[in-house]
Chain A
């Protein structure tokens, strides 16, 4: 208690001291890195001769000016500003001082925010990277996950799709889990976010899946910086969820000073996609191909395509087959020639150039008692695909209060609403516009002369179903809308007992709600498909009208954590810190689904469905709901000890407990820990004198991370249900189809990190290099069980793998003059992943990844074609043999080899994950001009693409790329592309083989190299200057013009739109964009 009294006393004394003024110091603080512009809000702290003198100080105002009254005891003052090197000015005789501060990217007093603690960089033993989020730094970005591309060594990003709002896949230091989540943990101002996992690539078929992660709701303009925690020393404190790294977002705060208003507007032009790169056949080529095929023995879907239809209508098919073109009547020739000359511009019909807008307004400021930050943002995005729209509305309110010397309180609210509007594209693969643009025939009209829809009779899957499809009709008559609403609130309180001890607590609430609303009118393929699908005795049992499906859901989480921190320096040299904490978290998720038919959108009425049988009613539920709830409790501690600012030893431990149902209590908590060390060599006496070296330190850490599978229990866990065996007796049953596994252990990952930081020549060159080794053991996966156990599979600890790699971050200041600056940042991550052990099922014919990367791609090595255009395969001893011999086919096209022998036939082609990835960033500043050029690159990956065509199932009703024209034919033998296969009496078993076993796509000719360097951003900015600004009341103003994703330098990606989305023909490629941005500060 006496300490409290002491502090109170100090308060009182301060007021007295202020009244005893003798001298007024004035001055101006200028930004040495920004043309000596005034620095607003720089802190001035007076130093006195008398150590016990009451503190005094002030803050620079809007013009950078300050004025402070001091007693005669003052001997000097410190001027500091976040991100700038603090300067000390000794007081002389004069009373007016001009202080120029210089930005310092690696100031040792900088604090690193880990989400739990703010660690001074000089004590930081872990591998972390911080990216300041400003337009100069990362360009104009729509979502924060895009901000990280190429900015952080060891963090690789992959855009799943260029569709509006589509999430970006992020991997930190490779992949550590095979079945579990591989996404990093996102933390917003100390609270871990829920709902940030990106769904698997296969589920992201372009605009059908308008899923957004909760990160999409955060406005990048609200973000101060992002810290990426990479090694165990940094992440162990987050426990089990942090096995894939942690991304900590710190949002902007109000700064002391007058209110500042910041207004920005961005206009983005996304030029229309061009499908020219796909090299699709034009009408003339397509008609030529159809004519060729109709004459040949190749009969698959012989009646498809306009040529076949014209000939069949005129009854000349047989005549053509017998006599060729010359045998056709002039009528037939004319009709065919007519379609040759007709080309529908699918590019124009489906895609468009769009203009997008974004506005942002913030108000911030503060006093020594309170600071505030308020912002609103509006973002409206039109997709390059016609009919796709997305918008976002954000609001952020942050206020911090300093109640008294002991207590600080803070409250923040982040709210956003996102709307995505598109149409139904998931009823069949061809209803996806991106895919349709590839398969629609060039001669296929959209409307007839009267403006009616012309249905595409060629794309439909089954011959017997004739459900009319026209993509324009789908776009007009169906809709697929998603609304996401998120609200997050964070309250925190900090109780500072004295300089050594403080307790802080933080409570976070996160609510994410969504509504997915899908509608199809009766005049749509989607509805016709529904009707066809829901039939009984050949008749649909659905009522007339449209369909309305609604999925709604919400997740709600709260997190409450409390920390006690103790910090003490003993005998000047011994810095000691310890932190203890506990965290509770509870999450609930609820979903609701309703389906209605006979829907009329004008009256919002529906018609009841009369199910003909009980079975159909049960298998087509019209509504369903789910509810899940999870709880977590964790305890953690960190400690660090620093000796003479040179040696730091750190350690952290965390016990994570969760509500894993049916898991024995002993499994509830597994200690996850780390130990780490830092040696700041620069502080050694033998290096202190070396002027050229500004910083040199070594870091080393080891840690254990882990994860448990929540779905497998050592006990027999069942689900309640109700059934009827004998009439009129409905009974409870427990369905128990999941095998229990009492032997299931935690998945563990051991991490070793070693790194050094060096800065030389007044920090003109700074380099950070990290080496890491991560070994994951007891990885959890599915294993086939002998069926006599009663179960077909169970979850076991079945695999282990390792990741090792280097990360290099190099920042150089190439030119540094008052008028011209040039800086460069290069980030390179090199990651090598290897599966050490993997159990494959006995019957698997695809090889185990043991000894290969987790993303290993295997294929059959081919050796050209035989004299009939059939693929030849390369045996291990280098011979070229037929499929018959290679696979030891029997007459039914089945391989006589055992599964193990079939696995041996594959050759390793490479990994789907890049080996080297990174970014190359250059910033130029000349007077008021800035130019930023950012590149990102990925090298060393492979991708398996869809075959351009199938030798057996090439569908002449669809369009395709030019590869089909280069297929093997007796006249075109110099090619690697196999012939279209027809029964020839020689290759029958091979044909059956390709027919039944789908091995066609497994040939090495469909595996492509994936190396590319993307020009992510070129941005030219100009900052206005002059008195006219001040007259208008404008503090500062700037404009910029940026081109994003203007070009890609890549290896061969002929026939594909973009190397990044080569493997997924449904994905919208990343759009190019040109952005004009205006920023005004009042």
Chain B
């Protein structure tokens, strides 16, 4: 009898406190539960969004380089990107991002899937988090499809291989590529969904790297532009301009770069674009520099002369951390103008292009350049808008994508070696290298990635 009692007492004593005893939270480790913790998950992936748009500057025609500017470690890492070498690359050559984008998608999907479990947060806060997650996912897919798949406007999107869409947080999933059209459909759908969830119009200054309701139109306008959907691009660009009409007036002062997060133009300030390692790899292509006409204040705002012939990006040390720009109002004047012109709406095209030019040129020069536009036909105006776009968006991670979605021209690059001999590299018109190869490590990890039978 006694034995039985003792056993029972012993067992009760030991079992009861057992689960409490085992509940140890490892120092520094966490499984997100509260709204703040879910926000911290998202902040981490915001911070880790690749600076690939900046890296496309190398691949585009914006940056020139020679043995003096690109040597040693830089040469090993970046030269193959600059001269479009996609096969037999230098073993230490860098790749554009891949996993990092999908990791961001994973966290976004994780938040979307766990929204009902988030504690200590208001409904609005949760909805905003989920909305931003949809936006991030869409933005990641948008960057991926524009790096690794043919341009929507230069292929048959329905039958062309796009990129895998990650729509679920599942580490065991083996994804396959979707068509370019499906990827864009999903992007637009995600933006739509995000719009329904988000409730913050615009984040206050230190948090403007986050997506908000105001970014919806901006993002959609850019997507529409890349799809050649002029009507949608025009409407959304106008929506953006309505809310963010302000432009930095460079005609009088050149102190604040439009790409500064403090600039009046800033809508969303996530990406640094040209990081410090990128800015010193080469110098501004002289052809690009030559495009800036007299009175164009952007030349000295964006760039500075390093030597007599070589100009580089102007990056003041004090403003280093301030230069972040994903969407700014200037871009939407250009989109509105380009879309209007394509829609044969010359009035609006001129209206928006001139509005931008007015803030960029000294007043006297502006008058001359603006009035010259009036006489142009649609094609000539298209060219002028494109040139203005090239000048305005230079070194901001747009050029490569603009080249891709438009004429995909032939590009020639010259690399001068230390002994003055010149190596010449050429990208043919509509060269297949306008689309990046899928990264080798991605194909190795998922051999079915490249399979496409449509």
| Interface of A toward B, CB cutoff 8 Å | 497, 501, 503, 562, 564, 566, 580, 582, 584, 586, 626-633, 635, 657-659, 661-662, 665, 668, 713, 715-721, 723-729, 731-737, 739-741, 743, 784-792, 794, 841-843, 892, 899, 996
In the complex, which residue of chain B has the Cβ closest to the Cβ of A625? B27
A503-B6, A715-B31, A716-B110 known; A723 vs B321 contact (CB < 8 Å): no
Question: A788 contacts B442, CB within 8 Å?
Answer: yes
What 1/0 mask marks residues of chain B from 162 to 187 whose CB sits below 8 Å from any chain A CB?
A: 00101001111111000000000000
Is B22 in contact with A718, judged by CB distance below 8 angstroms? Answer: no
Cα distance A734–B110 in the bound complex, in angstroms: 13
Complex CA gap A842/B105 in Å reads: 25
Q: What residues on A are CB-neighbors of B171 within 8 Å? A: 739-741, 785, 789-791, 794
Bound together, the chains give a CA A89 to CA B439 distance in angstroms of: 88
Is B24's CB under 8 angstroms from A718's CB? Answer: no
In the complex, A843 Cα to B46 Cα: how many Å?
31
Q: Within the complex, what minimum Cβ distance (angstroms) separates A366 from chain B?
A: 31
CA distance A264 to B15 in the complex (A): 49
B residues 240-277 touching A (CB-CB < 8 Å): 261, 269-270
CB neighbours of A789 from chain B (8 A): 102, 106, 166, 170-173, 175
* B25 interface residue (CB < 8 Å to A): yes
- Is B425 interfacial (CB-CB < 8 Å)? no
Chain A: CB-nearest residue to B442: A787
Partner of A720, one of B40, B88, B322: B40
What is B's interface to A at a CB cutoff of 8 Å? 2-3, 6-7, 10-11, 14-15, 18-19, 21-32, 36-37, 40-41, 43-44, 46-47, 88, 91, 98-99, 102-107, 110, 164, 166, 169-175, 205-209, 261, 269-270, 321-322, 324, 439, 441-442, 444-447, 449
* B30 CB to nearest chain A CB (Å): 6
Residue numbers in A under 8 Å from B322 (CB-CB): 726-727
Report yes or no: B446 in contact with A787, Cβ–Cβ below 8 A.
yes
Are A734 and B164 interface neighbours, CB within 8 A? Answer: no
Q: What is the count of residue pairs linking A and B with beta-carbon distances less than 8 angstroms?
A: 190
Given contacts A564-B10, A726-B269, contact A792 B43 (CB under 8 A): no
Can you offer 16 A-B residue contacts whose CB atoms are under 8 A? A582-B10, A584-B21, A629-B27, A631-B21, A717-B31, A719-B29, A720-B30, A725-B270, A733-B43, A734-B32, A785-B171, A786-B445, A788-B99, A788-B102, A788-B173, A790-B102
Is the CB–CB distance between A729 and B207 below 8 Å? yes
| Closest beta carbon of chain A to B441's beta carbon, Å | 7
Contacts A725-B43, A788-B164, A843-B444 supplied; 18 other A-B pairs, CB < 8 Å: A562-B10, A582-B11, A635-B14, A716-B32, A723-B44, A725-B209, A726-B206, A726-B209, A726-B324, A727-B206, A728-B206, A734-B40, A736-B41, A741-B172, A787-B441, A789-B171, A792-B445, A843-B445
* Chain B residues closer than 8 Å to A631, beta-carbon distance: 21-22, 24
CA of A842 to CA of B444 in the docked complex: distance in angstroms?
7
10 closest A-B pairs by CB: A790-B106, A786-B446, A729-B206, A790-B103, A733-B44, A843-B444, A787-B99, A582-B14, A659-B24, A734-B40
B379 to chain A, nearest CB (A): 42
Residue in A658, A734, A791 whose CB lies within 8 Å of B30: A734
Contact of A661 among B7, B24, B106 (CB under 8 A): B24
Whether the pair A717, B30 counts as a contact (CB closer than 8 A) is yes
For residue A633, which residues in chain B have a CB less than 8 angstroms away from its CB? 14, 18, 21-22
| Residue of chain B at shortest CB distance from A740 | B171
B166 A661 Cβ-Cβ under 8 A: no
Q: Find chain A residues with CB under 8 A from B44 CB.
A: 718, 721, 723, 733-736
Chain B residues near A996 (CB, 8 Å)?
Answer: 91
Q: Which of A716, A723, A786, A792 contacts B47 (CB 8 A)?
A: A723
If A790-B99, A790-B103 touch, whether A725 touches B28 (CB-CB below 8 Å) is no
Q: Which residues of A contact B102 (CB under 8 A)?
A: 787-790
* B24 lies within 8 A of A629 (CB): yes
B270 surroundings in chain A (CB, below 8 A): 725
Least CB separation from B209: chain A residue: A725
A501 / chain B contacts, CB cutoff of 8 Å = 3
A566 touches B3 (CB 8 A): yes
Q: Are A723 and B43 in contact (CB under 8 A)?
A: yes
* Chain A residues whose C-beta falls within 8 Å of the C-beta of B174 in the assembled complex: 786
B43 touches A731 (CB 8 A): yes
Once bound together, how far apart are the Cα atoms of A183 and B60, in whole Å?
57
Q: Which residue of A lies closest to B44 (CB)?
A: A733
In angstroms, Cα B32 to Cα A713, docked, is: 13
Q: Once the chains bind, are B41 and A659 in contact (CB under 8 Å)? A: no
Min CB gap A732→B, angstroms:
5
In the assembled complex, the Cα of A784 lies from the Cα of B444 at a distance in Å of: 10
Say how far B159's CB is from chain A's closest CB, in angstroms: 21
Which of A626, A723, A727 is the most central at the interface, judged by chain B CB atoms within 10 Å of its CB?
A727
* Among A633, A657, A743, A787: residue with most chain B CB under 10 A: A787
CA–CA, A490 to B13, complex, Å? Answer: 22
- With the chains together, A790 CA to B321 CA distance in Å? 28
B29 touches A717 (CB 8 A): yes
Most chain A C-beta atoms within 10 Å of own C-beta, residue among B22, B270, B444:
B22
The answer for the CA separation of A631 and B22 in the assembled complex, in Å, is 6
When distances are taken between beta carbons in the complex, the residues of chain B under 8 Å from A713 are: 31
Q: Smallest CB-CB separation from B165: which chain A residue?
A: A788
B16 to chain A, nearest CB (A): 11
Shortest beta-carbon distance from A671 to chain B in Å: 15
Complex Cα distance, B10 from A580, in Å, reads 10
Q: Is the CB of A659 within 8 A of B22?
A: yes
- Complex Cα gap A715–B31 (Å): 7
Inter-chain contacts of B29 with A (CB < 8 A)? 661, 717-720
Q: How far is the CA of A584 from the CA of B208 in the complex (A)?
A: 51
In angstroms, Cα B98 to Cα A635, docked, is 48
Contact B22 A719 (CB under 8 A): no
Contact A787 B445 (CB under 8 A): yes
Is the CB–CB distance between B447 and A842 below 8 Å?
yes
- Asked if B175 and A628 sit within 8 Å, CB to CB, the answer is no
In the bound complex, residues from chain B placing their C-beta under 8 Å from that of A564 are: 3, 6-7, 10
- Bound together, the chains give a CA A735 to CA B270 distance in angstroms of 18
Tell me if A734 and B23 are in contact (CB < 8 A).
no
What A residues does B23 contact at CB under 8 A? 659
A1002 to B31, CA, bound (A): 44
Residue of A nearest to B177 (CB): A788
Which residues of chain B have C-beta atoms less than 8 A from A721's C-beta?
44
Minimum distance in angstroms from B350 CB to a CB of chain A? 36
B99 and A733 contact, CB distance less than 8 A: no
| Residues of A with C-beta under 8 A to B40 | 718, 720, 731-734
Judge whether A791 and B99 touch: CB under 8 Å: yes
Is A736 in contact with B107, judged by CB distance below 8 angstroms?
yes
A740 to B107, CA, bound (A): 12
B28 touches A719 (CB 8 A): yes
Residues from chain A with a CB closer than 8 A to the CB of B444 are: 841-843, 899
Q: Given the interface contacts A727-B321, A791-B103, does A784 sit within 8 Å of B43 by beta carbon?
A: no
Per the bound structure, the CA–CA distance linking A8 and B364 in Å amounts to 119
From B6, B206, B261, B446, contact of A788 by CB (8 A): B446
Closest to A786 in B: B446
Smallest beta-carbon distance A743→chain B, Å: 7
Closest to A713 in B: B31
Please indicate the chain B residues that have their CB under 8 angstroms from the CB of A562 in the complex. 10, 14
The answer for the CA separation of A481 and B272 in the assembled complex, in Å, is 47
> Which residue on chain A has the smallest CB distance to residue B114?
A716
Q: Which residues of B contact A794 (CB under 8 A)?
A: 171
The residue in chain B whose Cβ has the minimal distance to the Cβ of A793 is B445
In this complex, what residue of B is CB-closest to A566?
Answer: B3
